[in-house]
Structures are given as C-alpha cells and as structure tokens.
Chains A and B, each alone.
Chain A
C-alpha cells in the first residue's frame, strides 16, 4: 500500500462531518499555521514541498503564491477552482463529496498564507449536491471557530463562500473563472495582467485547484520537506487519479507520483485491469485535452523503459511519443472502442464549450467537429485527414486561452497515432459503422526508436 495523504481517512464513517474529521486529526494544520507560522513561512513550506498545481498545468504552487502582488491597502483574494469539467476527471467531486473539510481546512491555511480576508470556492453549477455539502461544512467550521472573525483567537478573520457556476467548461480557465465570479460571461481575459497582479475585482488573486489546496494540509502538518520525499524527481507528493473507461474498477485513486502506468492499470490495488477480459487499446492519461496514446506507448517509453505516472515520465518524448499528466483524468479504451469516434466526441465537447471570443477557437472547433462527424459516419474522404491536421495546427497556439490547444491536441494525437483507423473509416464506409477496427498493432511493443523534436 502506498501512502495516502488526502484519502487516508476516506473510509471512516462520518468523515464528512466536522466532529469525525476533527477526531481524525483534522484542522491541526489550521492551528499550526495560524498559531506558530507566519504567512511567509507557509509559502516557504509550500515551495519546499515542490507541490505542482493539480488542475492540469502543473505549475509549482509555491511559486504561484510568491508572485502574488501585495500592494498596501488593496484586498487580496484566494479563489478555489472547483469547476471540474475536464472529461475524464472527477477527483474534485469525490474529494468534496466525501471529505469536504479537507478543502475547507486547506482554504483557511492558504488564505492565511496569502493574506486573503474573503475567499471563494467556485464550484461548477452542476455540482449542486456538492455545493450544499460544502456550505454545510463551512457552517460547521464556522460554528467551531475556524472561520469568521478572530479565528482561534489569533486575530485573523476569514469569510469563505461557495459560488456556483452556470455550466461552462471554459470557467475552469482561471481568468474565465474570475470573470464568471464577477457575474459576467466566462470569457477568458487577455493576459497580461495575470491574476496575481489584477485578478478578482482587479485585486491580486490566486486561483488554485481543489486538490492543490487540500494538499496544503499534509504539507503544513508534516512539513514541506517531508512531502517532497514522496514521489519522484520534480513530481512530488501524491496525486488523485480519476480512472474511467473500460476498467474493472474505475474510480478515484490516490497514488504516489512515480507509480508505473502498468501497475496502475493492472494491479488489484488500483484499476484491476481491463473490464470483460479485453485488451487495452489506448489511453488518455490526463483528461481529454492531453494527447491520446496507443497501449504500447502508454506502458513503455520510446526507449523501452516503463512509463511512470509522473509529470516528467508521461510527457517524455514530447507529443511525438508522449502525453501529459494534466489533471489526472485517466481514460482507458478497450479493443472494441473506436478512437475516431471518441475523437469526434471530444471535438464536439470542445466545440460546445468554446466561449466564442477568439476566432481560431470559435470557428476551428466547429469545423473540426463537422469534418470528424463526416468521417465517423462513413462520409469522409482522404483529404479530410490532412484538412483536420491543418485546422488543428492553425488553432494550436493562436488562441487567447489554452482551450484552443486542448481542442487541437486530441485531434492531432489521434491522427498521429491512429491514422490507419481514420483510413479504415474512409475506405470502409459501411463496414466501419458496425465492425470496430480493433487492436491493429497498437499494443505491439515498439522497437526502440529515437525521437526527433517535431516542428
């Protein structure tokens, strides 16, 4: 069994209540932080821990905090990004449902470290049950003196509010989230200025993912150095992985970063292998935005070494043979699944969720969806594949926010690794509607190949 930091007590009955959570050592981090540490010391601990943002980009949290501008007399805000909408990712829902006080505790410590007097948890609107859970948890914490005026007699005041979203994936982008929190359309802002300088209401703001904030609790309890000992290289600590798709045991797992991908998929401690005795065809390792990989490249690096669940190992080989850890949304496809159809599905998602502000994303996502739709339904032609490649290339990197890239990468990687399946749909327009393309050679271990940087 590997170490559990966030989900240690997840199976304790009543852990969602304040009493049980407190009995199990909850809110120790608040006491320690507010009574014995200065805000600067907390930021230092987080820096030492090497914690990287768990929302997808993997930017070091401590460094993000240290960028926060601190002009005199201007309010600062901490906003928790609980707008979990990345297909394949459901860890934040799990955390908020079962152990909401972990998030509240992390919010108190983080707000104190950043000097925020009012903090918001922006939860996606569809998670109304979780909003109710969090509001109850906040009321409990407030009744126990951990929130409100003069917390634990230290003179620190904090108000914590839950803000519902309205149903928009784009609000997971931090500046779109802030726009939405200000009661506007969720159009991402043009950066600079970054939120650390001018965020919510024009004030310095930090936006962090639910899991990042919950991870502050063990960092404060055990110290940043202790946290950094877990994991591998620059991927420190534990990470919640949301496993879904054709697995025996889909669900949320806490892993120590550096776990071999093969072990994660096949061991009984985690996913328990592919459902219904089938074979693994492909995976999306970090939520729908990251490149899809065939089974052989999922399990092994191009040089034949095993691939690990870490920021570095998953992105080893660049986009030519690698992918990204992203938000940890691990989707497994069995041999009967169609990558082409799934790519179309993801494309439709991005088309539906594009905010429509900048032209490459607004027009390009719809175009890709239409072309893919045509291919999937047996009406495509060979030029379409090249056209798709051209469209995605013209979107990538040319948009205001990362949604454009997120829409382009799945299409690019599907063409890169599964071009033969696209051709199957085009050459066999009737057969492909009922007979899956199957495994082809996607699981055949590849010979050692050298990777050249793609341009």
Chain B
C-alpha cells in the first residue's frame, strides 16, 4: 500500500497521507467544504466524535469496496480510504442532519449571545448562524447551573457548555494533574471538580482557549469589552517555561492589553498552548515584542472594525463595470 491516498470531497480531489481523517483531508483542501467541528481538536489526542456537527456522507467507500457507508459518519474520526468519495455541503441529507445537530446543541444552550462574553468568537454562534433555525422549537425549561469559579482566573458557566470534553483532554494531556472532569450522566452531565477545588496549574488557562463556547471564560477579561472592539496583535516574549514558546495574541483596547490568548489558526485551534504566566500576568506592552496585527478572517465579526486590506464586496452576478470600478478603488487605497 502506498503512503498516499486519494479522496474526493464535494468533487474536489486531494491526495493525503494514509491514515488521515476525512476532516483533516478537507482542511487540506480548505474553504467552504471543511466540516465544522465543535469537539474535535487536532492537538488533543482522542478528541472528536461526540458533537456530530462534522458528519458527512461517504458515497463511495473506497476504490476496492465502492459501497457507500450506510450512515452519516463523523468526519473527524473516520479515516480516508483510497478512492473514497465524500459529500459534505453538496449533500442535502448532510445539511439537514447537521441542522438537526445544531438544534440539539441549542435546546439547552441559552440564547443570550448579547450578554455572553464569548459572542463574536463563539463557534456555536457561527454554527447556528449558518445552520440554525430562526426560532427555537424547545418549549421547556432549560437546564441551568450556577456559575462557579475554578480558581481566581477562570470562570465556569455550565449553562453554556456543550460537553465537547476538550477541556478534559487539555487537563489530561497538557497539564500535569486533572482535578476537573465530567460528572453525572446524560443531559445532567456537567464539567465540575465535584467538591469545589481550584484548578491550579501552569497550563490550566488553555481550557479557555479550547472551549468552543462561553462556558469557560477568562475572569481577567470577562465583560471588560466586546471582542470586536479590541485589536488583536501577534506578539512574543522569552518565556522561561519549558513547553511554552511565548507566542501569543494580545487583544488591545487603545493602549491597554485587555487579554492574552494563544494564537489561533484558520480553524480556530491554537497553534501552541501557552502558560498561565504569559496569559494572565503579562499585560503590559513592555512585556512583549510586538510582531504584527493578527490576521482575522474577513467573515469574522472581529474584522468588522479594522481591515488589513479593502476587500471589494462580493458580487453574485459578474458586473464587470462594478468590478473594474472596485479594482480602481482598491489600488487607490493600497497606494495612499
């Protein structure tokens, strides 16, 4: 068997290493065909498979065995086979099932984005914007929990949790001791320390970065500002910590650094986990070497207040006159 296999996702063929998952193959292609992932995290071993938002249809199993897979599969945990054909956004069945999953994720999740600190950088918000219904069909009381502080820097608000287990994997794999976990069963499951304990660890702050929703938030930043009013800037420092490379994103409001996070890639995953010292204790510009403004995807609400370049509006019908005019405008902006 060769080391490379060919897989076709939504009609786009890509050659990937043997053993790659469908999701990662799609990420190599990039763009709209990448399935959304709420629980999978490529840096956390064993994550994925739980939220079911990344489900896709395998319309052809492989070159050898072309039978389609009987059910939709979780693309984050299904490895590609040579000749496999996968349908994601080109399959109405997948979109329908994904909309179902989004609805399930939202029935117990508060619909109060305006008062949630995660708004603007929330994966669930993006997901429901794309796939959700305009109104909820859930007419019962939502499950609620009290907010708890796990340590003086992190707040846990279980109401918003979608039980992706990422923070548990972080505690298992990135920190040296896990004191929080998943308690109870079914929809009573909750992230907790059982008896109130402080999550004290040099890397515990990373649970904030991996949390796809506003369940784990940075208490040093909570309600200081809306994320889209801040300006993210990449910076680094010499960190003494063995496993922290000190490469971060600083979130500025005016001259003040409001918070520090790890740098995130285009799929919303951190590039490298950072230590709590970098995250919580270094909030002066003088602590850091500034690199450049952080690249923010132009579809993100965070980009709404600052552009790196002017991107002309998308035109649906090709309008050559308008495109030409835009082109001239663009050159003007770049030049001056």
Contacts and interface: CB of A to CB of B under 8 A. Distances in A.
In the complex, is A directly touching B at CB under 8 Å?
yes
Interface of A: 168, 185, 190, 351-360, 362-367, 370, 387, 393-395, 397-400
Nearest to A357: B50
B46 to A, nearest CB: 9
23 contacts: A185-B182, A185-B185, A190-B49, A190-B77, A355-B186, A356-B163, A356-B189, A358-B51, A359-B50, A359-B104, A364-B104, A365-B186, A367-B140, A387-B137, A393-B100, A394-B97, A395-B100, A398-B52, A398-B55, A398-B71, A398-B101, A399-B52, A400-B74
A351 B186 CA distance: 7
Given A387-B137, A394-B100, A397-B71, A362 B187 contact: yes
Contacts of B71: 397-398
B188 interface: yes
Interface string B30-72: 0000000000000000001111110100000000000000011
B162 interface: yes
B194 interface: no
Nearest to A404: B52
B117 interface: no
B294 interface: no
A357 B187 CA distance: 9
A363 B103 CA distance: 9
Interface in B117-135: none
Secondary structure class of chain A's binding surface, majority of residues: helix
Contact of B187 (A190, A363, A393, A397): A363
A395 B140 CA distance: 19
B105 interface: yes
> Sorted from nearest, which 9 A-B pairs have the closest CB atoms?
A394-B100, A190-B49, A363-B104, A356-B189, A354-B186, A356-B186, A397-B71, A366-B187, A370-B140
A393 B96 CA distance: 11
B138 interface: yes
A394 B103 CA distance: 10
A26 to B, nearest CB: 40
A232 to B, nearest CB: 26
B159 interface: no
Contacts of B104: 359-360, 362-364, 367, 394
A358 B138 contact: no
Given A394-B97, A398-B97, A359 B186 contact: no
B192 interface: no
A395 B101 CA distance: 8
Nearest to B70: A397
Contacts of A366: 186-187
B108 interface: yes
A388 to B, nearest CB: 11
Contacts of B77: 190
A179 to B, nearest CB: 12
Interface residues of B, number: 31
Interface in B133-175: 137-138, 140, 162-163
B186 A353 contact: yes
Contacts of B72: 397-398
A362 B163 contact: yes
A356 B185 contact: yes
Nearest to B188: A356
B89 interface: no
B272 interface: no
Contact of A398 (B100, B138, B163, B185): B100
B107 interface: yes
Contacts of A393: 100
Interface centre among B50, B53, B55 (most CB of A within 10 A): B50
Given A358-B51, A362-B163, A394-B100, 7 more contacts: A190-B48, A359-B52, A360-B100, A360-B101, A363-B107, A366-B186, A398-B55
B113 to A, nearest CB: 19
Nearest to B74: A190
A146 B209 CA distance: 57
Contacts of A365: 186-187
A352 B186 contact: yes
Interface in B60-99: 71-72, 74, 77, 97
A360 B185 contact: no
Contacts of A360: 52, 100-101, 104
A406 to B, nearest CB: 14
A423 to B, nearest CB: 19
A387 B107 CA distance: 14
B52 A367 contact: no
Interface centre among A185, A370, A398 (most CB of B within 10 A): A398
Contacts of A354: 185-187
Contacts of A190: 48-49, 74, 77
Contacts of B108: 363
B19 to A, nearest CB: 12
A399 B97 CA distance: 11
A145 B50 CA distance: 47
Contacts of A359: 50-53, 101, 104-105, 162-163
Contacts of B163: 356-357, 359, 362
A363 B105 contact: yes
